[in-house]
Amino acid sequence: MVGLWLGASSALQAQTFTVTNLNFPVQNADIGAVDIDKDGDIDLLIAGDNSGRFVQLFKNDGSGNYTLATSPFAAVGLASLDFGDVDGDGNLDVIESGFAASPLAKLYKSNALGEFAEVTPAPFQQIAPTSGFADLNNDGYLDVYVFGNHDIGDSRAKIYFNNKTGGFTESAQFNNFKFIDPLVTVVDYDNDKDLDLFVMAY
Ligand SMILES: [Ca+2]
Ligand SMILES: [Ca+2]
Ligand SMILES: [Ca+2]
Ligand SMILES: [Ca+2]
């Protein structure tokens, strides 16, 4: 179940929280909290499973009230969501991976109105469960990582470098690694001004 714990604080007391229940039965999920419709308030995109696969966009009315909205995103379990402007047009893009009938990794781009459409054919190998955006080669353009489970179709981790013209170039430099249910955090681990990948997996 998904709930929102909303903080309320003052200068004189520690922060306290109240709960707003979204009445959305989901686990093995990921949650994105971004202004997905470009109206100045934070919305929620949630994908995951719980006796079925779910994806749901909750739009904020500006006062912290969230209502269900239609969205083009895929219902997946063991979901992974990330947000960024991968094509540099000033509009938010989404990468989503997870397991539906088969593993998937989808890219969605939005227009100036904040309306999302899936990029087809998918520019990435269809592997799951983990994906995200990061400028991995320091050229100012977001690149993509998609980390799969090697025990499902021998899905290996893939890096896709942004070619700056709307496409991607696959790198096979992680092909020698076998992961199951990888979690990835991108951080400059050694403080040398380039991003590194911190991976936790079986
Ligand atoms: Ca919004
Ligand atoms: Ca964009
Ligand atoms: Ca890059
Ligand atoms: Ca580094």
Kindly give the confidence (pLDDT) of every residue in the chain, 202 residues in length, as a single tens digit, with 9 standing for 90 and above. 677 766 665 566 688 988 888 888 899 999 999 999 999 999 999 999 998 999 999 999 999 999 999 999 999 999 999 999 999 999 999 999 999 999 999 999 999 888 999 999 999 999 999 999 999 999 999 999 999 999 999 999 999 999 999 899 999 899 999 999 999 999 999 999 999 999 999 9
Q: How far is the CA of 134 from the centre of ligand 3 (A)?
A: 7
Strand order in the sheet with 168-171: 129-134, 143-148, 158-162, 168-171
Tokens for 139, please give them.
């050229």
Q: How far is the CA of 138 from the centre of ligand 4 (A)?
A: 11
Q: How far is the CA of 84 from the centre of ligand 2 (A)?
A: 7
Q: How far is the CA of 77 from the centre of ligand 4 (A)?
A: 31
Structure confidence at residue 8 (pLDDT) = 62
The pTM for the full model equals 0.91
Q: How far is the CA of 197 from the centre of ligand 3 (A)?
A: 14
Residue 46: strand, helix, or coil: strand
Q: Which ligand is nearest to the CA of 86?
A: 2
Q: How far is the CA of 60 from the centre of ligand 3 (A)?
A: 32
Q: How far is the CA of 94 from the centre of ligand 1 (A)?
A: 15
Strand order in the sheet with 103-110: 77-84, 93-99, 103-110, 116-118
Decide: residue 57, CB within 10 A, 0-12 exposed, 13-18 middle, 19+ buried: buried
Q: How far is CA 14 from CA 3, 19, 174, in A?
A: 21, 17, 46
The C-alpha atoms of residue 137 and residue 187 are separated, in whole angstroms, by 13
Please, which residues have CB within 8 angstroms of residue 14's CB and are 6 or more apart in sequence? none
Closest alpha carbon to 56 in 28, 82, 78, 25: 25
Q: How far is the CA of 58 from the centre of ligand 1 (A)?
A: 9
Closest alpha carbon to 172 in 184, 187, 156: 156
Residue 136 is classified by DSSP as T
Q: How far is the CA of 62 from the centre of ligand 1 (A)?
A: 7
Q: How far is the CA of 140 from the centre of ligand 3 (A)?
A: 6
Q: Which ligand is nearest to the CA of 62?
A: 1
